[in-house]
Chains A and B, each alone.
Chain A
Amino acid sequence: GNSVTQMEGPVTLSEEAFLTINCTYTATGYPSLFWYVQYPGEGLQLLLKATKADDKGSNKGFEATYRKETTSFHLEKGSVQVSDSAVYFCALSDNNQGGKLIFGQGTELSVKP
């Protein structure tokens, strides 16, 4: 079945460091891929998405490229801020199943000043 695997956290970085959170997936067909962010005490917010191979999603300085050959959708940011501290979830949606999202386990990011 479809699944998403993320790198384990927590990830601790200093402010202005480069961020990569790895995400790989297993899916039949051609899923859409997403990154969601959850700030402490809040719900999930859509950060970015990509709907087909080689698409790059971007938002708020974060980027991720849909790599079909490596079944990956790694999240990157060139210079993190303390305000980026949150839990990040990679997810896929089977385009044949009406929007059901399958989530990875989440990666906690802590950015220190």
Chain B
Amino acid sequence: DAGVIQSPRHEVTEMGQEVTLRCKPISGHNSLFWYRQTMMRGLELLIYFNNNVPIDDSGMPEDRFSAKMPNASFSTLKIQPSEPRDSAVYFCASSPDRDPNTIYFGEGSWLTVV
């Protein structure tokens, strides 16, 4: 079975540019999560959706960050404009309603803003 698929795997961009990260959750999973991992702050939950609806976005750092889930098989996390302090690994994860506490992670998008 295909796992959570993220793209791009690696991105290097200049400060001020727009960055869009993409995620395809596991088919049949109802919840989707975006996490950010940095050395300083560890793993932080940014936002999560259930049945395509944002449930908790309290972890989104500021207005430069936005996330959408237009359908059950696709989500985006956008940063506009990007800043060097946004450099991190961004993970997408999903879980099914029948077992919502078991979360499956993608391999991450490694973002560097210079």
A-side residues, CB < 8 A to B, are: 32, 34, 36, 42-46, 49, 51, 89, 93, 95, 97-106
Contacts and interface: CB of A to CB of B under 8 A. Distances in A.
Closest 6 CB pairs of A and B: A99-B100, A93-B101, A43-B107, A103-B43, A44-B105, A32-B101
A44 B45 CA distance: 14
Nearest to B108: A43
A90 to B, nearest CB: 11
In this complex, the interface size class of chain B, counting residues with CB under 8 Å from chain A, is: 20 to 34
Contacts of B95: 99
A106 B42 contact: yes
A101 B31 contact: no
Contacts of A49: 101-102
Contacts of B91: 43-44
B106 A43 contact: yes
Contacts of B48: 98-100
Contacts of A32: 101
Contacts of B104: 46
Contacts of A105: 42
B102 A100 contact: no
Contacts of B33: 99-101
Contacts of A51: 101
26 contacts: A34-B101, A36-B105, A42-B107, A42-B108, A43-B105, A43-B106, A44-B93, A46-B102, A49-B102, A51-B101, A93-B101, A97-B56, A98-B31, A98-B50, A98-B55, A98-B100, A99-B31, A99-B33, A99-B102, A100-B45, A100-B48, A101-B33, A101-B45, A103-B43, A106-B42, A106-B43
